[in-house]
Amino acid sequence: MKLRKVISILIAAVMVTVIMTVPSFAAKTNTGFIHASGGKLVDGNGEPYLIKGMSMSNDVWLAPEEPPEYYVREESYRELEQLGFNTVKFALNYQHFESDKAPFKYRDVGFKWLDKNIAWAKKYNIRMILVMTNPGGDQAIALGDALWTDKTIQKRTVGLWSEIAKHYADEPTIIGYQLVNEPTPIASSVDKGLNEWKKLAQKIINGVCACGKRTADKPDGGYNSSCYHDKSHRSDRGAERRDCHGCG
C-alpha cells in the first residue's frame, strides 16, 4: 500500500518536527533500545538517534472496532526505509484492544495486529512511537468531555496503557508512547484545562512506569506527554525527567 494515506510529519520524542528534505539518511540496523543519555536520544551503541519519521493514522478517527488491516502493509515499511525514514508515529484506537461491552478485558486481535506491524517495522529498521489517538470518551473527535469527567473511562485508559507497557516492556522497536494525542480537556480556562491533563497524564505515567522500563516525561511543559525507553532505568535530564521506578 502506497503512503498516500500515511498522514502528517511525525511530531514525537522532544516534540520537534523533523522534515525530510532528501532521502540521504539511510536507516541503520536496529541496535538495542533507544534511551536518554546526556539530554539526547541514543541507540544501544551510544550513537545519537535522530528521529526521521512519518505518522500512520490508521483511520482511528472512524473508531473501527476491528484493527484496520487494510491501512498499512509490509510494503509501507519497506517504502519508508527506502525514503530514508527511521521512525513511525503509530496511531491507536482503544477499541482495537478493549470492547466497551467488556471493559478491562483486553482483546488479542489488537495485540496481534500491533505485533505484526512491529515485526514489519523491525524487518525494515523502523522504530515506532505508539500514540493513543482515540482513548475513548469522544476525545479523538473533540465531541465530548467524558475522558475528563468519567472516572471509569480514565481508569480504562490507564489500564490499557499499563497493559500495552507490560506487553512491550522488552521490545526495542518501540521507542516511546504518546499517552493522548492532542488532549483537549473541557475547562473554563487554559490553566484549569492544563491541570486536568496533568492529573490524567500522571495517572497514566504511573501505570506505564509500574509495568515496564519506560522513562516518562512529566507533563508540566504543555498539553503533550510522552514516555521513552530508558535502558539504564534512571533519569538523564534531572528534574525534567523522572525514573519510571520512582513514579508513584
Contacts (Cβ under 8 Å, ≥6 apart) of 119:
none
Per-residue pLDDT band for 143 (boundaries 50, 70, 90) equals low
Per-residue pLDDT band for 39 (boundaries 50, 70, 90) equals confident
So what's the pLDDT on residue 145?
84
Cα-to-chain-centroid distance, residue 118: 13
Domain that holds residue 91: 3-246
> Which CATH number is 84's domain given?
3.20.20.80
What are 197-245's pLDDT values in tens digits?
999 999 999 999 887 655 444 443 344 445 554 433 333 332 223 333 3
State mean pLDDT over 95-109.
Answer: 95
Most confident of 27-31, 78-82, 191-195: 78-82
The pLDDT > 90 percentage for the chain reads 49
So what's the pLDDT on residue 212?
60
What are 15-26's pLDDT values in tens digits?
322 222 233 334
Measuring CA to CA, which residue among 20, 3, 6 is closest to residue 84?
20
For residue 64, give the amino acid letter: P
More confident residue, 80 or 238: 80
So what's the pLDDT on residue 64?
72
Domain total of the chain: 1
Contacts (Cβ under 8 Å, ≥6 apart) of 11:
17, 55, 89
pTM metric for this prediction = 0.77
